[in-house]
Amino acid sequence: MTEKNRSRAGILESKQRLQLVTKSMTERSRSRAGILESKMQLAKSRREMIEIKKRNEAIRSRISKIRDDLVRVENEHETLFKSIEQMKKQTATYNEEMKKLNEHCDVANEESNKLSEIILESRKGLELRNNKIIEKRLLYEYQLKQIQEIYAGLKAEENTRKDLHNQNLDLMGNIRVMCRVRPYTDKEKEIEQVSLECFDDKHTIQVSTKRLRLWQMQIEKSTYEFDHVFNTSADQKEVYLELSPLVQSAIDGYNVCIFAYGQTGSGKTYTMEGNVNSPEKKGVIPRSIDEIFDKIEETNKLGWNFEVYVQYIEIYNETIQDLLIDEDKDRKKSCKDRKKSFKEDRKKSFKESKDLCKIVYNEDTRMTIIENAERLKISKKKDMEILIGKASNRRSKSSTNSNSVSSRSHGVFILHLEGENPLEKMSSRGSLSLVDLAGSENIDKSGSVGDQMTEAQSINKSLFYLRYVIQQIKDKSNHVNYRDSVLTSLLKYSLGGTAKVCMLVNVSPSTDSTNETKKSLSFGQDARKAHVGTAMRNGCA
Ligand code: ADP
Ligand code: MG
């Protein structure tokens, strides 16, 4: 029993130990399952960790991107802020300007309001004026009618005036001859005895010459009659007054020629030109111009428009020399050259000169034009004064250059007056030739040689043909030969046929000149008897 109890106790103990081992084995398997579970859970957790890490990475990269974005946005914000600041400043400037503009606007509005008021007022005034204009128009139409009536009357009067004027001139004869005695020079006054007497009738002049006859000193008196005699005290105005009707005729469409004849020093240039710048001493040329422009202005009222052209030449040794030649062209030559060429020009033969300045006739208008010589259009008195000044300066210059050439040349000043009257459908072509002839004392000069002989011959020739032409006109010859000298060729339409001519015989009161004076007076008296024919207007439609 004790052994059995002991083995029972050992078995019990082993059973207990087995139970314990089983229990621990169970526990161990339990813990093993727990470990496995834990392991699985750990693996899961690991996976989750990886997942989380991945997400963390993504979040981190997103955060860095967001940070970058943030920086960019901040930069943009800064830029925007700056531009907003600038815009704010600009807005302030704009506001300032706006303010000013508003102020201007206010002022402009105020002005506009005022203007509106003015416009309103003006409109009222305009309406009033309009009414007045209508009234005036009615009055004007009435006056126009009256003017038309007056114009018709004026025209009739003008025609009557022209007719009477021409009848009057015709009665005086177409060649009028007047005589002018120049005053004594201071030197002449001291020694002179009076040999010339101008009668009060203003037509007669008497020359007294002492002659020894039958051992006795006798006084021979020769009397001459002219259309007018101007004594030593006659001034330029008085002379011109007698010539003025002829100038009027040139405007009326006639060819008019006035020439001064006489010996050198008898006052031809003084009479024709005088002192252009002096109102008292200016001669026939400047006075004619003054009158022509005054008359042209008057005729404008009757619907006439006139154009005035001028040519101014001198004839030396049968050569035409242009006195209006363009100074600028001429100035290019040196002064020395000019003097030389002028002398040379003068020496050219008539044949050569024909190539330079040619006389051209217009048979229809009965006008003569010098081709290749300046033909200037003149529109006011002043132009003409300057032009004459220049021309006479040229003439006097050449005179000193070649020993008083001016007394050996004929100065011819020609005005062409071309008028149109569109209202009346009329036209008029007149001319005025004013000639300062070469000194007549050269005619009988003999024994001269060289240049002097050529000069004397050509003066002889031209004055002879002038007298001859006048003689032929006087004799009513069927054919008058104008072509023998340049002077008569040039004056063809101004001397004969239908022209009006006036010769001014200039004489010196000096007893030294008595012989020349008598010759000049005889020539004038002869010419006076010439009858040109009935004067006729040119180119009247
Ligand atoms: P011509 O041209 O005939 O040679 P001028 O006209 O040159 O003569 O006159 C000669 C001089 O006499 C000039 O000094 C001129 O001023 C003078 N003379 C001529 N006529 C008059 C006059 N009517 N009144 C005053 N001086 C005159
Ligand atoms: Mg002279």
Q: Which of 182, 278, 407 to mutate to test the pocket of ligand 1 (most atoms within 8 A of CB)?
A: 182
Same domain for 240 and 157: no
Statement: residue 474 has pLDDT above 70: yes
| pLDDT-wise least confident of 14-18, 378-382, 521-525, 537-541 | 537-541
CA distance 507 to 266: 5
Q: Which ligand is nearest to the CA of 280?
A: 1
Q: Which residue reads 């398997």 in tokens?
A: 29
Instruction: Select, from the ranges 160-174, 355-369, 390-404, the one with the highest average predicted confidence (pLDDT).
Output: 355-369
Same domain for 454 and 509: yes
Note whether residue 361 is domain-resident: yes
- Stated as kind and residue range, the H or E segment containing 516 is helix 514-528
Q: For residue range 338-349, what is the model confidence (pLDDT) as tens digits?
A: 444 444 544 443
Write down which residue in 170, 204, 237 finishes a domain.
170
Measured CA distances, 360 to 259, 297, 303, 351 (Å): 21, 30, 31, 15
Confidence of residue 173 (pLDDT cuts 50, 70, 90): low
Q: For residue range 116-147, what is the model confidence (pLDDT) as tens digits?
A: 999 999 899 999 989 999 998 888 888 888 88
Statement: residue 209 has pLDDT above 80: yes
Same domain for 234 and 153: no
Q: Which ligand is nearest to the CA of 283?
A: 1
User: Are the C-beta atoms of 388 and 273 separated by less than 8 Å?
Assistant: yes
Statement: residue 275 has pLDDT above 80: yes
Q: Which domain holds residue 419?
A: 173-190+229-324+355-529
E-strand stretches of 317-395: 319-322, 358-362, 367-371, 376-378
CA distance 482 to 491: 8
Question: CB pairs under 8 A, 24+ apart, for 343-351?
Answer: 343/401, 343/402, 345/319, 345/321, 346/316, 346/317, 346/319, 346/321, 346/398, 346/402, 346/405, 347/317, 347/451, 348/319, 349/318, 349/319, 350/317, 350/318, 350/319, 350/486
Distance (Å) from CA 395 to ligand 2 centroid: 10
Same domain for 397 and 287: yes
* Residue 248 marked as a ligand binder: no
The whole-number pLDDT of residue 455 equals 80
Statement: residue 328 has pLDDT above 90: no
Statement: residue 505 has pLDDT above 60: yes
Structure-model confidence comparison of residues 60 and 332, the more confident one: 60
For the domain that residue 258 is a member of, what is the CATH number? 3.40.850.10
Statement: residue 448 has pLDDT above 70: no
Paired strand residues for 213: 216
What is the residue type of 495? L
* Residue 303 marked as a ligand binder: no
Measured CA distances, 354 to 53, 334, 359, 361, 371 (Å): 128, 26, 8, 14, 9
Same domain for 181 and 100: no
Statement: residue 290 has pLDDT above 60: yes
Q: Over pLDDT 90: what percentage of the chain? A: 37
Same domain for 185 and 111: no
Statement: residue 255 has pLDDT above 70: yes
Same domain for 432 and 284: yes
Same domain for 107 and 184: no
Same domain for 237 and 150: no
Same domain for 298 and 152: no
Q: What mean pLDDT value characterizes the chain? A: 83
Structure-model confidence comparison of residues 264 and 170, the more confident one: 264
Residues having CB closer than 6 A to ligand 1 are 182-183, 262, 264-270, 407, 439, 506
Distance (Å) from CA 436 to ligand 2 centroid: 7
Beta-carbon neighbours within 5 Å of ion ligand 2: 268-269
Confidence of residue 171 (pLDDT cuts 50, 70, 90): low
The whole-number pLDDT of residue 400 equals 40
